[in-house]
Structure 1
Amino acid sequence: MSDLLKNIDARTRLAGTNKLEILLFTLGTDQRTGKRETFGINVFKVREVMRTPKITAAPEMPDTVEGMVSLRGVLVPVVDLARYVAVAADTPRDIMIVTEYNGHTQGFLVEAVDTILRLDWSQMRVPPDMLTANMGGLVTAVTELPDGRLVMLLDVEKVLSETTRYDDSHMFKDIKPISDGGKHTVLFADDSSVARKQISQTLDMLGVPYISTINGRKAWDELKMLASQADAAGHRVCDVISLILTDVEMPEMDGYILTRHIKSDPRFEGVPVVMHSSLSGMSNQQLGKSVGVDEYVAKFEPQRLAETLRRLISRHAAMLAGK
């Protein structure tokens, strides 16, 4: 199974091309529907795939957490994904997908892994409202395979947030409002409901109004509309939008392509772009810089995000005052 995850460098080169690779897996046949659903997880977030090792039960864990395993001396929580997504499957989950991103490692129990599929982000669609409601926001994107199967891309951030029961309120307590925050507007794009909530909370603490979008395509459409409105009113876009914050991995259009569009369009001159991602490795940061992002901030660090936003918004205000 380790052969599935070779050629790391080749996968890294996909970033910036609006392409991704997803590891396909199943959770078992749902006894209620008789169907075997296919899920996917971005390969960038997968560290390894292995036979499920011995799991040690741990007290006071959520029902969906099977227990803990020791991987190279580190205790890692193990989530039974079938139980988490309420798939009433009676097949054993003998395979564990180990995910690692933004300093967090966890194992996901699955029935089987299939293959790694290379796709264009434009092939990944925002899930229909009915699917979002049925899956509780667990799925961030969907695509249809040539054989007719529907693949649902898993929101790892949401699983982590809900299974750890982590109280992050303390991370916001020292964030102070920007003195003239109400005069600025931030537009941000992120497909994860968990990330959007944390960004919104950070901006609320800063006292900065914002426009929220769910992917790069929606953000680009919104920005083009704002540019047209600003032009009709005789304003510059930088007078309307003080900063753009974007995730990297998003259906329809990723953060690299969105940034490239913004930085190549003279209408958005003077508007800083911050990349905000759980893919915080140096290679991803370098790719962000190559398409013109002004800063790269890791997700789930509200204090650092607030400090970056405060600094860039203040710099933006000083630039406008000097013109």
Structure 2
Amino acid sequence: MPDAKRTENYRGDHIPKRPLEVLEFIIQSQEKGVLVEKSFAINVIRVKEIIKRPRVTKIIESGTNVLGVFHLREDLIPLVDLPGWLGLESEKPGDVVIVTDLGDNLNGFVVHSIKKIHHLSWDNVKVPDKIDRNQSEFIAGIISTEGRLIMMLDFETIFAELSQSEIKYDISRFEPMYFAKREEHTIMVVDDSVFSRNYAQRVFTTIGYQVVTAANGVEALDMLRGGTRVDFIFTDLEMPQMDGGELLATVRHDRDIEDIPGLIATSLTNLVTLQEQQDESQRAGQPKILAKKDMFTIIETIDDALGVDPNELPSQWDSYGKEG
């Protein structure tokens, strides 16, 4: 019987874990006079290409860790001293640049060398409780492989801090979309990226929705089973511990929360890769996947799922008999 699986402790353990490809790179630092190599990683889907360190043009009033800008074909890209930003000092400057694509924002990050690509799953990424999110928001998780620890970085949050995007959210374009009836509904935003989580929260509250947040699927599930009442789940696709697909599949198997609708979003900007993810999600019977940057489409999808019609005009009789 299908209901046999719908137990209180169901966590989707039978669901195949999403594959994860990370690029391991090395940053050197001087520690007590000794040269130490530290391993870091970036999700491969964030990498546009890897190049040798280019010549740069200095820019006025750039941050201390922004070395300047360089041309990559038709694009003008800022070059960031990643070791310096991380507070790791080395006598030898890095000579390799990882060009990242973060929501249509191209950036170059200087590192010392590239080690290899690891083919893993999100189960390999751990988020230790001892990491203070307020102090280490750029840490996406820790990977243990081949007898060593690799720190996976959240480049979206790094970029946000470098550009001070946290205080420059483009929220004004959403302000005219405020609709009072949305205040009757609560959205749960689930995302391991601090920047993306905060941005979505700001957008949804601006247009009227109540919002609660969680940093990954496990935390979200614990909140839901602990009594947090929500009407919709807006979740990132790829997260450590439990990704968006696992979260929504697990919710569907829990009698107490099975009726909560959801939507998966991703930072993928490559149309081919995004289409592959959408096709995979459809085959698995999961909700459709939308790009995070398509926020207007996301809002329309959530409104439709919750029966909210912002174009609905108030009746002339709504105020009849009320004190004016």
Q: TM-score, normalised by structure 1?
A: 0.79
SS of equivalent to 1:174? helix
Task: Say whether the 8 Å CA contact 2:24–2:39 is kept in structure 1.
Answer: yes
Tell me the equivalent position of 1:258. 247
SS of equivalent to 1:180? helix
Tell me the equivalent position of 2:222. 221
Q: Note the 1:14-93 alignment, pairs <5 A.
A: 17-31=17-31, 34=34, 35-93=36-94
> Which residues of structure 2 form unaligned runs of 5+?
1-15, 310-324
Tell me the equivalent position of 2:155. 156
**CA displacement, residues 12-54 of structure 1 (integer Å, 9 cap, x when unaligned):** xxxx732201111112124468543211000111122221122
Q: Does 1:314 align with 2:303?
A: no
Task: Say whether the 8 Å CA contact 1:198–1:302 is kept in structure 2.
Answer: no
SS of equivalent to 2:87? coil
Where in structure 1 do 4 or more consecutive aligned residues deviate above 6 Å?
A: none
**CA displacement, residues 105-160 of structure 1 (integer Å, 9 cap, x when unaligned):** 211110111111122212211144446455x411111122332x221111111122
Instruction: Quickly say closer, same or farther: Cα 1:139–1:103, change in 2 above 3 A.
Output: same
Number of matched residues?
288
Task: Say whether the 8 Å CA contact 2:48–2:100 is kept in structure 1.
Answer: yes
Q: Does 1:202 align with 2:203?
A: yes
Tell me the equivalent position of 1:278. 267
Task: Say whether the 8 Å CA contact 1:140–1:154 is kept in structure 2.
Answer: yes
Separation (CA, whole Å) in 1 of partners of 2:110 and 2:259: 47
**Counterpart residue identity of residue 117, structure 1:** H
**Counterpart residue identity of residue 150, structure 2:** V
Task: Say whether the 8 Å CA contact 1:187–1:245 is kept in structure 2.
Answer: yes
Q: Note the 1:145-184 alignment, pairs <5 A.
A: 145-147=145-147, 149-166=148-165, 167-184=168-185
Q: Which moved more, 1:170-179 or 1:80-89?
A: 170-179
**CA displacement, residues 218-263 of structure 1 (integer Å, 9 cap, x when unaligned):** 223333444xx9xxxxxxxxxx432111101211122222233334
**CA displacement, residues 253-283 of structure 1 (integer Å, 9 cap, x when unaligned):** 2222223333455654443211122124222
Instruction: Quickly say closer, same or farther: Cα 1:111–1:53, change in 2 above 3 A.
Output: same
User: Percent identical across equivalent pairs?
Assistant: 26
**Counterpart residue identity of residue 245, structure 1:** F
Separation (CA, whole Å) in 1 of partners of 2:134 and 2:189: 23
> Which residues of structure 1 form unaligned runs of 5+?
1-15, 230-239, 317-323
Once superposed, what is the RMSD of the aligned Cα atoms? 2.7
SS of equivalent to 1:57? coil
Tell me the equivalent position of 1:114. 115
Larger radius of gyration: 2
Instruction: Quickly say closer, same or farther: Cα 1:33–1:151, change in 2 above 3 A.
Output: farther
SS of equivalent to 1:259? helix
Separation (CA, whole Å) in 2 of partners of 1:188 and 1:33: 45
Larger relative helix fraction: 1
Separation (CA, whole Å) in 2 of partners of 1:197 and 1:242: 19
